[in-house]
Amino acid sequence: MTVLSGQRRIWLTGASSGIGLALARRLLAQGHRVALSARRREPLERLASGYPDALVVPCDITDHGSVAEAARRIDTAFAGLDLLLHDAGTCEYLDARHFDLALIERVLEVNLHGALKVIDAGLPLLRRARDEHAGRPLLAAVSSAAAYLPLPRAEAYGASKAALSHFLESLRIDLADEAIDVSVIHPGFVETPLTARNDFAMPLRLDADSAVDAILEGLERRDLDVHFPRRFTYLIKLLGSLPPGLRLRLGRRIAGRKRRTQAGA
């Protein structure tokens, strides 16, 4: 079991389900002070029960005021952050034959704009920790291996994650002089309530606890790119580097397999 060293002050979003829930359980069990955020209070309170270092701060990441209030409460309780770990996200797939702008906007609002609101609210807390304790705080966010390669029906999801990855990699350059590190997490398929809705094969799918091991190991090393499972993500990276024409042919083959799978369901 991978351990994140020290006792850190952590703000974890998306803490009520999936990878975020598994991360929350692990971090609390290791004795870290963890501010738990998700939209609903009840599952967070159940999660925090028995952990005196847990702070329940529900918020809606699409609402700037809600996120700002959560950050204010965390700063009051923790006096800064050593780690901002953003995991909240959503996934919806687009049928381009019935172009759905509302679907695209929903996904972008959560996965990109929501992440930006959390970063905007959390950066001052990371700076406070740096200034008061002379350490190097860490900003980390969960993107997706889909950021590496355009995939069929993933126009909204893939674009939101690719944009998030690009933003964080650029931000990393500008924060380097501030002594704030940035890690971007690119999981492959992980068993979560979101992936349970997928109607296609998910190669090399991991359980949530294995994903947490990979994430904490990468964060402990302060890897710039935390990606897993490596056999899958290295292949996706390689395919993403192909010329556009080859990527188009590959995408059409994948789309054809998905249609055949759905037809046989």
Helix, strand and coil percent figures for the chain, each rounded to 5: 55, 15, 30
Q: What does each C-alpha distance from 93 to 144, 250, 254 come to in angstroms? A: 14, 18, 14
Residue 129 token pair: 């920790």
Q: Which of left, alpha, beta for 31 (phi over 0: left; psi -120 to 50: alpha)?
A: left
51 is catalytic: no
β-bridge mates for residue 141, sequence order: 86, 184
Residue 247 token pair: 């990527």
Give me the catalytic one of 51, 93, 148, 157: 157
Q: What does each C-alpha distance from 109 to 30, 61, 87, 135 come to in angstroms? A: 33, 9, 14, 33
Residue 121 token pair: 């609210």
Which are the catalytic amino acids?
157
